[in-house]
Amino acid sequence: MTVSWCRVKALGRYRRVLRARQVPRLVSAMVVGRLPNGMRPLVIVLLVHQQQGSYAIAGTALAALMIGTTASAPFRGRAVDRWGQSRVLVGLAVLQTAALAGFVSAALTRQGAPVLFLLAALTGATNSTLGGSMRALWPVVVDADEDLPVAYALQALLEDLISVAGPLAASLLLLVTSPAAVLGLSGVAAVAGTAAFVTAPASRSTGGRTGQRTSVLGALSTPGMRVLVCTLASTGAVIGVLNVAVPALAQNQGTPSTGGVLLAIMSAGSMLSGLCYGAPQWKTSPGRRYLWLSGIFAAMVAPLPAAGSVEQLGGLLVLVGLAYAPTMITAYLLLDDLAPAGTLTEAYTWLVSANAGGVALGSALAGLAMQHAGIHWTLAVAAVSATIGLTVATVRRAALVKLVPVTRPDTVTGVFKESHPLQ
C-alpha cells in the first residue's frame, strides 16, 4: 500500500516537472546527447580488439577515454559557467567529433597504440557537459522551488537509465553494423543532442559570468563543496567494490550468472527509492538530510561482510540500493546551498567526477583484496569506505548545514537574484 501511494504521488510530481515549459526538450536533448557516453566503452573495446588483436591495448584505450573524461570534467564545467552553455557546448561538440573521427580512422588503419591512446583521451576530454548544464538550468525551468528535489531525482534516474541503455543500444546496433559505424552514430547522436539543447531558450540565455572574479579553486572554494566531494568519493568507492565483489561471490558459489542479477536488483532498489524520495515536500534542510542519509547508507553497507550466501547478499544489496539514490539526490540538491555563485555546472561535474573516481578506486582496491584476502575482506572495504564518508560528513557537518545566501537564476533571461537555500 505504501509503495503504491509513493508511486502514484511521485509520478504525479514527476509529471508536473516534465510538463514545465522547455523541460521536455531539454531532457530529451540531454538523454540523446549523453547516450553515447554509455555506448562507447563497449564499442571501443570491440573495435580496437578487432583491429589490433589485443585486449590489453583495447582496455588501455578505454582507460584513456575514461581518464580524459573524468580529469577534464571540472574544467569543462568551469568553462561553461564562465562563457555560457551555447558557446562552450558547441565548441566541445566540434572538437569531440574531430577527435572521435581521428580515433576511428587510426583504429581502422591500425596505427600504433600511443596514437590510439592519445585520441581516446582527447575524445574523453572533449566530452560535453550536458548533465552539469541541465543541473544548472533546473532552478530556471521548474515552476516552483518545491519541485527542485523532484527535478534532481529525475535527473539522477535518467543518469542511471543512460548507463543501462547505452550498452544495450550499442549491442543492438552491433547486430546490424560494425563497431566503427556504431562509434560514428554515437558522434551523430552527441552532436544532435547538443544542438537541440543549446538552441533551447533557457540554454541560450546563459551568457556566462566573464566579468566576475572567481577563486582559483572555482567550485571547491567553499568548505561544504570540498566535504561533499570527499563523501561522494567514498560513496562511489562502495559501488566500485560491489561491482567486483558481487560477481566474485556469485562465481565462488557456483552461480556466476546471478552476479549481474544481484547488481540489477540493487539498481532497481535504488531507482525505486529515488522515485519515492521525490514525492514528499521535506521540511528539513538538505544538509541535515544528507547527514542522516549518509548514516543510513553506512548502516546498510556495514553488514555486507557477514553475507555468507548469494541470497543473504541479495537481501542486503536491496537495502544498499534503497539508501543510495536518496543520498545522491540530496548531494545534488545541496549544490544550491554550497556551490559558489556562478559555478553550478562546475560543481555538478566535480560531484560526478568524485563519484566516478571513487568507483574506480573501489574497483581497484576490491581486486587487490579479492586476490589476497578473500570475499569477506573485500566487502569489508566497502563498509570502511561508507564509514569514512559518514565520518567526514559528521566531523565537518557545520560546512554542510550552515545556511548562507546563494545566487540563483531568476528567469530564463539569465538575471540572477539573492535567495536563501531551500529548507
> Could you read off the pLDDT of 298-314 as tens digits, one per residue?
999 999 999 878 888 88
Q: How confident is the model at residue 32 (pLDDT cuts 50, 70, 90)?
A: very high
Which residue, among 35, 46, 56, has the nearest Cα to 177 in the 3D structure? 46
**Given a cut of 80, is residue 105 above it in pLDDT?**
yes
Q: Where a domain ends, among 143, 177, 204? A: 204
- Model confidence pLDDT, tens digit, residues 177-193: 999 999 999 999 999 99
pLDDT at residue 3 greater than cutoff 80 = no
The mean pLDDT of 63-72, rounded to a whole number, is 86
228 and 113, same domain (yes or no): no
Do 154 and 18 share a domain, yes or no?
Answer: yes
Nine-digit cell string for 421: 537555500
Residues 260, 179 within the same domain: no
The number of distinct structural domains making up the chain is 2
β-bridge mates for residue 409, sequence order:
416
pTM for the structure as a whole: 0.80
- Does one domain contain both 308 and 382? yes
pLDDT of 418 over the 60 cut = no
Domain carrying residue 17:
2-204
Q: Is residue 293 part of a domain?
A: yes
| 418 part of a folded domain | no
Q: Which of 325, 270, 305 is nearest to 382 (CA)?
A: 305
| Out of 223-227, 358-362, 417-421, least confident range | 417-421
Instruction: Pick the last residue of a domain from 147, 171, 204.
Output: 204
248 belongs to a structural domain:
yes
Is residue 31 a part of any domain in this protein?
Answer: yes
Q: State the average pLDDT over residues 25-48.
A: 90
Q: Tell whether 62 and 174 lie within a shared domain.
A: yes
Distance, CA of 273 to CA of 278 (rounded, Å): 9
In a shared domain, residues 332 and 191: no
Q: Tell whether 152 and 301 lie within a shared domain.
A: no
pLDDT for 417: 34
Domain membership flag for residue 106? yes
Residues 312 and 175 occupy one common structural domain: no
Question: Cα(328)–Cα(145) distance, rounded to whole angstroms?
Answer: 19
**307-316: which pairs have CB atoms within 8 A and are 24 or more residues apart?**
307/249, 307/379, 309/253, 310/249, 310/250, 310/253, 310/255, 310/258, 310/262, 313/246, 313/249, 313/262, 314/258, 314/262, 314/265
Structure confidence at residue 251 (pLDDT): 78
Q: What is the CATH number of the domain that holds 157?
A: 1.20.1250.20
Beta partners for residue 417, in sequence order: 408
Give me the pLDDT at residue 406, please. 44
Are 352 and 312 in contact, with CB atoms under 8 Å apart? no
- Domain limit, last residue, from 204, 229, 254: 204
Q: Which of 122-126, 154-158, 207-211, 310-314 has the lowest mean pLDDT?
A: 207-211
Judge contact between 38 and 167, C-beta under 8 A.
yes
Give me the pLDDT at residue 259, please.
79
- Whether residue 225 is found in the same domain as residue 192: no
In-domain check, residue 36: yes
Position 419 in a domain: no
Q: Is residue 95 located within the same domain as residue 45?
A: yes
Closest CA to 185 of 41, 52, 40: 40
Q: What is the pLDDT of residue 304?
A: 93
Q: Are 143 and 16 in contact (CB under 8 A)?
A: yes
Residues 174 and 223 in one domain: no
Q: What is the mean pLDDT of the chain?
A: 84
Tell me whether residue 420 is in a domain: no
All cell numbers assigned to 417: 537574484
pLDDT in tens, 341-383: 888 888 888 888 888 888 888 888 888 888 888 888 989 999 9
One domain for residues 253 and 358: yes
